[in-house]
Every structure is written in C-alpha cells, then in structure tokens.
Amino acid sequence: MGVELTRLPSGLTIVTDAMPHLETASLGVWVGSGGRDERPDEHGISHLLEHMAFKGTSRRDARAIAESIEAVGGDLNAATSSETTAYYARVLKADVPLALDVLADILSDPLFDTDELRREQSVIVQEIGAAEDTPDDVVFERLHEMAFPEQPLGRSILGTRETVRSFDAGKLRAYLTRNYCGPDMIVAAAGAVEHEAVVDLARRHFGTFNGPPAPVPAPAQFGGGTRIETRDLEQVHLAVALPGLPQRDPTLYSLQAFASIVGGGMSSRLFQEVREKRGLCYTISAFHMPYSDAGMFGFYAGTDEADTAELMQVTVDEIGAATGTITEREVDRAKAQMKASLLMALESSGARAEQLARHILIYGRPIPLEEIVAKIDAITVESVRKAGAALLARGEPAISALGPGRGLASAAAIAESLHRQAV
C-alpha cells in the first residue's frame, strides 16, 4: 500500500497511491505539455485538443464517451494549463478498468471529425468572449502578456478567435503526435486502486504512446512594463507582478510564505491594512505562480476609481516594509497555513493523484509528505525576509490596469517603484 511507481519501456510513468478506506478512485493522464509548447501558428491548440478529445473515437461518439462514465455514476473532465494538460475521471473501484479504457481511447484514437471540430471551435470562441467580459480574467491575461512578452507563457491558453478557427484535423494530429509521448505522460491514480492492476491496464491501453520526448520550450524571460486599458466599469482592476521563482528553486517555500504573509488571507498584511483599516477595496490578495523555469509574484485588487492611487501606494509600502518587519508569529502562521492546506487537500483522492503527477513532471519522482513538511518547517523569519528582499530587487514589475481612466496612470507610476522597496 501507499505510493508505488512503475516506468514502462516507452517512458510512460504509472504512479498510484492506495487509500484502502475509500470505495472510489480518482485517476487520470497528465501530459507535460500545454500552452507553452505551442508554436507561433498553434496558439490555443492545446486547449482545443483537450476539448476535441471528448468528441469521438472509432469506438465511441461524443455522447457515448460521456455516457460510458456517467452511466456508472462517475465523472470525466479535463484541464489545460501553460505547462500541462490533464484528463481525469472519478469512479467506483470496480470501474477503474472502464475509466482507463475511456481515457486511453480519447487520447489514442480521436477522430477530429470536421463537423465536431467546427462546433467546438465555436464553443471556444464563445469561451473567449466570456473571458473578455470578465474584468479580473482580462487584467490577469494582460499581466501575463506584460510579464512574458512575445512568449507562449504570456499568451492566453484559449488562443484567439482567428487562431482557434484556423486549426484543422491535420494540425491537431501533428500537435498530438509531437507532444503526447510516453516520456512526457503520467498515469496517476489514488484511492481504491491496486498498483499492479493499474500498470497492467496502462500497458495494455497506452502502448501507442511510444515516441521520443517532446521538444523543450524556449526558456522564459520576464519582461515587465505597463498595460493600461480604459473601460467603462464600476471598478478599477489592478494586477502587478515581479519576477518570481521556478518550481525547483530551493528558496521557493520561503517566497511562498512571504506571499502568504503579505496577501494570503484575511489575516494577511494587505487585507488588514488595505481593506479592514482603510476600506479601500473589497478584494485584495498576493500570489506566487511558479513555472518550470520562471515564476511570477504579484498582487491583485479591485477598487473604486477615486481610491486607485492611495490603494497602490499603501500596497507598495506594505510589501516593501514586510521585507524588514515580518515577525516570527507571522511566519509560524504562514507555515501552519501551508501545512494545513497541504494535508487537507490530500484527504481527496483527486488531489493526491494530481499531486503525484505534478511531482513527477517537476521533480521526476513523488515527493514524500514528510519531505514537504520538513521544507516548510525549515522556513525562518530570516529566510522569508531574505526571499522578499531578493524578490523586490529582482527586476522591473509588470503592471496591468483596467477600468475607468482617472487614476490608472498615477497608480501604474506608483507600482513601478515596487522593485525598489526592499529594506
């Protein structure tokens, strides 16, 4: 019992985590490619492929794919990110063979029917429109564009209306063949599973994924700069980012703690100072997004037009001051939050399967819970302050501002001083 791992000759990795007290299993296929792996003429193809995988194979049409899992009470879904694409299901333990059969079928034998493709292209165009109508989605999309300019990492996962409509079955199949290969694929399962049974099923169903590893994307380069977009909205939406850390950086956990202390919850400095004491916003938070070779630390807030400059000044000052004034009590609280979040998530079989796959894609092995907790426990006041100071000195920020025009330029000018705030 517990975590077990097998690698097939094709390079495909199978990893399981048996949870004997469960009667259900979560399982899926995680592919180490996403928006970053798209060529210039493929913008949005990773996401379209994720949709089209469910639209029919030689054995099942789109309805049969959905009904095959739902008829046994399970669910089937998928997700695309910048660096991964995942296809996953949750079923009763007796239906694990069925789920793996369906997952292998939709990835190894998609038909890419022309009529289905046209319909799904229209669906994604509607999805793009919905995102454009959501201001906080727009401001983060613009932030990524400024943080990683002219790079796949800075582009929307959805693509554009023009690129999405340009794809045909040939382009989809070429992308699939290039990027969905054994060395870059993980079959992960957690819950009511038996490792050897999953390995046997994977060996039987995923034998066609035996190509070489996919090409490695070009290294990411943080850019910076300002993007101001005037819109007739009720609120101003502000997002600011600095160059962060990649996933394997040894100081990552300290920077994550810094982000938590600064803006990770209701007890964070930004929430208490900007919202609770001054009433300058309803929503404010800080974040750190690590990628394989880059990262992005930042904050987001939505505020009234008249409060834009004051909110930005207070936020910049608070983040700068934190590098020299973070306390042991705050660090202890951040560590407790990090451990609790980790442990609470791992009570879910789906979260366990996802974490196993993510660890293998990042580190090449599952990371034991004890090892993660030890890294969190090793965080100190000094390491958090040092991580924050290094962050603010690392480079010019990327700034995205969206909303009524008055105050946007002055807020952006204030945000530009963020990298000089380190004590």
Distance CA 28, CA 17 (A): 13
Q: For residue 228, count CB atoms less than 10 angstroms from its CB and return exposed for 0-12, middle for 13-18, buried for 19 or more.
A: middle
Q: Look up 141 and say whether it is catalytic.
A: no
In order of 114, 166, 199, 264, the CA distances from 190 in angstroms are 36, 38, 13, 29
Distance CA 24, CA 94 (A): 8
DSSP 96-155: HHHHHHHHHHHHH-B---HHHHHHHHHHHHHHHHHHHT-HHHHHHHHHHHHHSTTSGGGS
Residue from 38, 42, 50, 318 carrying the catalytic annotation? 50
Residue written as token pair 């974490």: 355
Q: Which of 233, 231, 177, 182 is nearest to 207 (CA)?
A: 182
Distance CA 54, CA 254 (A): 41
CB 112 within 8 A of CB 146: no
DSSP-assigned beta bridge partners for residue 4: 16
Active centre residues (catalytic): 50
